[in-house]
Structure 1
Amino acid sequence: MQYPVPHHLLSRLVGRLAECRQPALKNALVRAFIRRFGVDMAEAAEPDPTAYATFNDFFTRALKDDARPIGEGVASPADGRLSQFGAIEAGQLLQAKGHRFSAEALLGGDTEAATRYLGGSFATIYLSPSDYHRVHMPLSGILTEMVYVPGRLFSVNAATTEHVPGLFARNERLVCHFDTEHGPMAMVLVGAMIVAAIETVWAGQITPLPHGEVQRIRFDTPVRLEKGQEMGRFKLGSTVVMAFAEPVTFAERLDPGVKVQMGDSLTAP
């Protein structure tokens, strides 16, 4: 049913509403959202929901400094569900049962970049509307390139991932390449229906861009981010796909669909 929907138009209209600064409307939207999704404001750095200037400010709210301890090894970059994880097999990542997609397509058709991840590992985190929506570094790293890839804006919930082939390689997304102590790592922030924008801490708001073509930005001045440091955020919920050039041994306690929080260790001791 999502195929004929005007994804971008709907998402941009929602984005305008989320930036509304009229107090009565903004506060009504925030309170309704908190009731609908059971948002715990006690862990927010600013617990008063009416203190935020816009709905987007509320949605991308910061947490208290001690709200998310950072675990050992590869840490979860966000709150959400670990929808899939494991080995990248023959250049393919698992999306859902019966659906795989290629690393090359995910990375915007970059064959050279995709070859770095042959034999590596991946993990996908789905952020629901009720989750904390800032994205943090799973490992310390130096940003080497950022790639904007235009695309559709299908929903990325479980039902859609089971029925839309190559979903994460079809949606609009931002690919961030890092060099880490464990080798190359790509963090892919995937857009989705009614996601108004994707931001990074080094460049501000990136999506939506006006030109429907792949755009690459390299960084001559190194941008270094430490493990656990914020690297970006979604204005409404979406998905993060991580790809690692080196194999990752994931913790045995993890199963597809398990709930995780930012900072939780994803790797075996």
Structure 2
Amino acid sequence: MTPSKLFALVQYPLPHHLLSRLVGRLADCRVTAVKNLAIRAFIRRFRVDMSEAQQPESSAYPSFNEFFTRPLKEGARPLGQGVVSPADGTLSQFGAIAQGRLVQAKGHEFTIGDLLGGDDSTAARYRHGSFATVYLSPRDYHRVHMPLTGTLREVVYVPGRLFSVNHATTQHVSGLFARNERLVCHFDTEHGPMVMVLVGAMIVAGIETVWAGQIAPLPRHAVQRLGFDTPITLKKGAEMGRFKLGSTVVMAFADSLDFDTLEAGGKVQMGQRLGETSGEAHAAD
């Protein structure tokens, strides 16, 4: 048995939510000596580049969570043309949604319906569209931004497990992103519907949005739909949410996307061009 498979298997019996909430409490600690020690150790362990941060002095952060979700200096992530990456991280997988199925890793797929919490009627819009998955490692910048300008239509909280979402686990846990707790954010864009799914993971203390603060986790273990009386429009490149510790963003487009020459498993930065919708490509002809 490979180490990666063993790592995946030992996660099944663990109390995912209990561990994550305990870590969340520790990450919110504001005792100066404790939080400074944790932040400095984290920077050393993961070689975090603090020169990009708006506040490069690690001791200035009131808590580990505020350090972890730190903003970057203005202009640190210029926006490319077309559809851009929503976050810093690894472009795990991307491509066409074939008959409603997305690739998780070699030999593992999941359906768009399962990802969206069993909403098959909404999932039908994406059956012939495109998707991209970005994994945010612990050392990455952890705010999530808009790949296109969009108007928020609905947010759906889907409860689930909290498996790790690193490379080892995606290789061995089937349907991982459709099993973990997640926040499904539906947007209307000028290129049609777009959905951004913020996937929770082991020891992720919470998922925040710019329109409602921390949403996940919610106390009720049932699918919950959150509507809005006033439309919320977010410009391309604007922040839309953040993770308290590393996780994954899966985005899907009803329109097909013509991806640039990219490599699955390669690094991307927030704002980096990923490609353009087929409508944009046709308009340029």
Do Structure 1 and Structure 2 share a fold, with TM-score over 0.5?
yes
The one-letter code of the counterpart of 2:268 is: V
Segment drifting more, 238-247 vs 216-225: 216-225
Q: What is the match of residue 115 of structure 1?
A: 124
**Are 2:68 and 1:55 equivalent residues in the alignment?**
no
1:227 aligns with 2:244: no
2:269 to 261, 266, 269: 261
Deviations 1:6-65 (CA, angstroms, capped at 9, x unpaired): 100000000000000000000000000000011111110011100010000000000001
**What is the aligned length?**
268
Q: Is residue 78 of structure 1 aligned with residue 87 of structure 2?
A: yes
**Unmatched 5+ stretches in structure 2:** 1-9
Distance 1:260 1:59 in 2: 19
Q: CA deviation at 1:94?
A: 0.3
Please state how far the C-alpha of 1:220 moved relative to its aligned partner: 2.6
Output the CA distance in 2 between the equivalents of 1:85 and 1:209. Answer: 30
Secondary structure of 2:229's counterpart equals strand
Output the CA distance in 2 between the equivalents of 1:13 and 1:226. Answer: 35
1-side partners of 2:139 and 2:49: how far apart?
A: 9
Provide the secondary structure at the position in 2 that maps to 1:50.
helix
> Could you tell me how far apart the structure 2 residues matched to 1:96 and 1:220 are?
39
* Counterpart-to-counterpart distance in 2, 1:23 and 1:239: 30
**Match for 2:211: what amino acid?**
W
Could you list the structure 1 runs, at least 4 aligned residues long, displaced by more than 2 angstroms after superposition: none
SS at match of 1:168: helix
Alignment map for 1:125-136 (pairs within 5 Å): 125-136=134-145
What's the CA shift string for 1:172-204, capped at 9, x where partnerless?
000000000111000000000000000000000
* 3-state SS of paired residue (2:132): strand
Between the aligned partners of 2:187 and 2:112, the Cα distance in structure 1 is 16
Instruction: Give, as a single letter, the amino acid of the residue that structure 1 aligns with 2:220.
Output: H
- The letter of the residue matching 1:71 is G
Higher helix share: 2
- The alignment's TM-score, normalised by the length of structure 2, stands at 0.93
**Secondary structure at 1:262's aligned position in 2?**
coil
Q: Match of 2:169, SS? A: helix
Match of 1:140 in 2: 149
3-state SS, counterpart of residue 116 of structure 1: helix
Alignment counterpart, residue 9 of structure 1, candidates 14, 18, 26:
18
CA deviations over 1:117-136 (Å, ceiling 9, x no partner): 01100000000000000000
Runs of 5+ in structure 1 lacking a partner? none
Identity, % of aligned positions: 72
- Which amino acid letter does the alignment assign opposite residue 152 of structure 1? R
- The separation in 1 between residues aligned to 2:99 and 2:136, in whole angstroms, is 27
Q: For the residues of structure 1 that align with 2:126 and 2:41, how far apart are their CA atoms?
A: 43
Counterpart in 2 of 1:88?
97
Task: Give TM-score scaled by structure 1 length.
Answer: 0.99
- 1:256 maps to a residue whose letter is A
RMSD of equivalent CA atoms: 0.7
1:139 CA drift (Å): 0.2
Q: CA deviation at 1:112?
A: 1.1
Which of 161, 171, 175 is residue 184 of structure 2 equivalent to? 175
Deviation string, structure 1 residues 188-242 (Cα, Å, up to 9, x no partner): 0000000000000000000111000000012231000000000000000000000
